[in-house]
Amino acid sequence: MSEGKRRTAGRPAGSGKGTSGHSQSLVRGLNLLERLAANPGGLSLSEVAEQAELAPSTTHRLLQALQSQGFVTQDTELGVWKIDVKTFRIGNSFLEARDFVATSRPFLRHLTAQTGETANLGVRDDGTAVFLAQSESPQMMRMITRLGSRAPLHASGVGKALMAWLPEDELQRILDERGLARVTENTLHTPALLREGLAEIRWQGFACDREEHAIGLHCVAACIHDEHGTPLAAISVSGPKARIPEARLTELGALVRDTAAEITARLGGKVPAR
């Protein structure tokens, strides 16, 4: 018997088919979990089968297998299937392990490559924005922010992008405690002006800093959201007004907004409806 035939004969009968079958069952099971996760109120057997495009008998067998491992549970009173505690624990461990700074860095570098300008990542520390990561512009004249430095929320692109999605009571608390100090003559220094600006940010999905933090500097920024739609961080592109004139703000703003949405999705977050 040849070497090739000996190897074939020595392999367990049907092993290839079994591996393929197990893989198919795994994919189908994960698909069912995804359907149930998207419907917290639960789905009936027929609804799960219809959404997964499987026969009810196959769907029931897979659900029973997932139930035996603690991934799904059946509410017999309502007649629906729901995700169970083990699925929740796995999802929660992902949320605890995510590193939004590390995840954002490649996106910041890509923004710099696309725009030629400095890209930043910042977070809110109560009433200020703190810068945690940066991709520097290659231009001789460029915006550079020292990591760990701070800027007022109301007078910076990153800060306003974060403020725009805060709950009303939290926003009011910050206004009461911090006020609206005028950093430049263009700073939004009254509650009415700021609220009008924040409404515009929510509508278009990005913030603009038109020399509000530093004369001669323009900036666009957008918020990264967590799984609840709450502000997690914000990214920005900043540069001299000569290279980022008013006519370019909308174009760059849309680019930063879409990039922030990509980071949000990568982190398992949710962008609120504009």
User: Residue 97 burial (CB < 10 Å; 0-12/13-18/19+)?
Assistant: exposed
Query: Can you give the pLDDT at residue 148?
Result: 79
Mean pLDDT of the chain: 86
Query: Can you give the pLDDT at residue 10?
Result: 40
Lowest mean pLDDT among 12-16, 136-140, 256-260: 12-16
> HSE on the CB side for 63, CA within 13 Å?
26
Using alpha carbons, list the distances in angstroms from residue 205 to 35, 76, 90, 133, 222: 29, 43, 31, 21, 7
Q: What is the pLDDT of residues 200-219, one digit of tens each?
A: 999 999 999 999 999 999 99
Band the pLDDT of 126: cuts 50, 70, 90.
Answer: confident
> Taking Cα atoms as reference points, which of 48, 58, 38 lies closest to residue 80?
48
Q: What is the pLDDT of residues 48-66, one digit of tens each?
A: 899 989 999 998 999 899 8
The CATH 1.10.10.10 domain(s) of the chain lie at: 3-94
Q: What is the pLDDT of residues 18-51, one digit of tens each?
A: 556 668 888 888 888 888 877 777 889 899 899 9
> Which CATH architecture does the domain made up of 3-94 adopt?
Orthogonal Bundle (1.10)
Query: Can you give the pLDDT at residue 79?
Result: 87
Question: In the predicted model, what is the mean pLDDT of residues 244-260?
Answer: 97
Q: What is the pLDDT of residues 167-198, one digit of tens each?
A: 999 999 999 998 999 999 999 999 999 999 99
Band the pLDDT of 91: cuts 50, 70, 90.
Answer: low
Band the pLDDT of 12: cuts 50, 70, 90.
Answer: very low
Phi/psi for 217 (5° steps) reads -115, 130
The CATH 3.30.450.40 domain(s) of the chain lie at: 98-266
Question: In the predicted model, what is the mean pLDDT of residues 10-23?
Answer: 51
SS in 3 state form for the chain? CCHHHHHHHHCCCCHHHHHHHHHHHHHHHHHHHHHHHCCCCCECHHHHHHHHCCCHHHHHHHHHHHHHCCCEEEECCCCEEEECHHHHHHHHHHHHHCCHHHHHHHHHHHHHHHHCCEEEEEEEECCEEEEEEEECCCCCCCCCCCCCCEEEHHHCHHHHHHHCCCCHHHHHHHHHHHCCCCCCCCCCCCHHHHHHHHHHHHHHCCEEEECCCCCCEEEEEEEEECCCCCEEEEEEEEEECCCCCHHHHHHHHHHHHHHHHHHHHHCCCCCCCC
Please state the separation of Cα 157 from the chain's center in Å. 18
CATH superfamily, region 98-266 = GAF domain (3.30.450.40)
Query: Can you give the pLDDT at residue 106?
Result: 95
